[in-house]
A = this chain, B = another copy of it.
Amino acid sequence: MKNTAPVHSGRHFLQIPGPTNVPDRVLHAMSFPTIDHRGPEFSTLGKDVIAGMKRVFQTAGAVVMYPSSGTGAWEAALVNTLSPGDRAVMFETGHFATLWRQMAGRLGIDIEFVSGDWRHGVDPARVEELLSRDREHRIKAVCIVHNETSTGVTSRVGEVRAAIDHARHPALFMVDTISSLASIDYRHDEWKVDVTVGGSQKGLMLPPGLGFNAVSDKALAAAKDARLPRSYWDWQPMLETGHTGFFPYTPGTNLLYGLREALAMLLDEEGLGNVFARHVRHGEATRRAVAGWGLETVCLDPREHSNSLTAVFVPEGHDADRLRDTILDAFDMSLGTGLGKLKGKIFRVGHLGHFNDLMLCGTLCGVEMGLAAARVPHKSGGVAAALEFLGQR
């Protein structure tokens, strides 16, 4: 039987904003035989990856990890800290913030959802105002998305923290870093975040399948009184892992092999500071290309441009998904679709994870040729503008 799937030559360009390109080294590490997750060899692995993840979260506190998607790590953050009817404030920064809100609603949390235009991050002034008004401290948690994967807008977590502090409000602070962790500078301890939510399939350069929570002492204290039902997601039995290296139930062993390899690449070889600088560079180059094409990013505030992905509007009357299809057919590159109310209006370019200048160049060339092939009106100077920037190193 002839294979009827499209024929690829060369490497597929997986430029959705995650899952991202997995390095061969990580794939190779994952191909080793699964070992006894209660045996001595596993103990070292478990302790190593927890220790490495603390460095990634920039925390001296607890990190737990689940065999789960990022969505699971969202749920873990909520059920470990809140009780039925607790009030939490969330911000409509985009599709994923909206999904997290829906989850919180289903779990019985009373959500105040601050509406937004999907083109801005969380407004720290609005946070301060809301919390200052809440004199009885009915708000138990402020939950924000650091990097909105649906819009390419990054909220200023440190400024939101400062706003909470100015309001002298005791609410827990929870941050989703699924598409920013290990790509965009993020400081769990310095920003006094109580629960940080992460996933394996973006900046960590792994396949999907691991969910993370970094947890402050304040969150651990809150967990003692939190009454939402929890079992799979319960932090308590997970907290031993850092010391024993063992998990309370079967961990995703081979993903942990991959994680150990990815952590060596990120922390010991490239170094987190260089990883962040690389993403800054690629974000800037991509935005210069977008400007060169005369197109508009979804993000409106220059302080909030994401450095892990760029979301771009196609001109009115054109279908971004048709453009994406054209690019996939003609150039074997996957770009991110518009989610929710942005469907058909935007495409998203992932420039995070296992990536470099020439991979970005290939990506931007594919977009530029695709815009022409799909007859989407644009100027042709995008690639040239990116090369001009990337060439100055």
Contact = CB atoms under 8 A, between A and B. Distances in A.
Interface of A: 2-3, 7-11, 13, 21, 24, 27, 31, 268-271, 274-275, 278, 330-333, 354-359, 361-363, 365-366, 368-369, 372-373, 380, 383-384, 387, 390-391, 393
B362 A359 contact: yes
A361 B10 CA distance: 12
A274 B10 CA distance: 13
A11 B359 contact: yes
A366 B358 contact: yes
Closest 10 CB pairs of A and B: A10-B356, A361-B365, A362-B362, A358-B362, A369-B391, A10-B355, A361-B362, A10-B359, A358-B366, A7-B270
B383 A387 contact: yes
Contacts of A391: 368-369, 372-373
Nearest to A12: B356
6 contacts: A3-B269, A9-B355, A10-B21, A11-B11, A24-B27, A361-B362
Given A2-B268, A275-B9, A362-B361, A369 B387 contact: yes
Nearest to A275: B9
A354 B3 contact: no
A371 to B, nearest CB: 9
User: How many subunits of this chain does the assembly comprise?
Assistant: 2
- Which of A7, A27, A356 has its CB near the most chain B CB atoms (within 10 A)? A356
Given A7-B274, A9-B278, A24-B27, A365 B356 contact: no
Contact of A387 (B7, B278, B359, B368): B368
B355 A361 contact: no
Contact of A358 (B31, B333, B354): B333
Nearest to A365: B361
Given A11-B356, A365-B387, A384-B384, A330 B393 contact: yes
Contacts of A372: 391
B269 A7 contact: yes
Contacts of A8: 356
Contact of A366 (B354, B361, B363, B380): B361
Nearest to A27: B24
B369 A390 contact: yes
B356 A9 contact: yes
Contacts of A365: 358, 361-362, 365, 383, 387, 390
A188 to B, nearest CB: 23
B359 A366 contact: no
Contacts of A268: 2-3
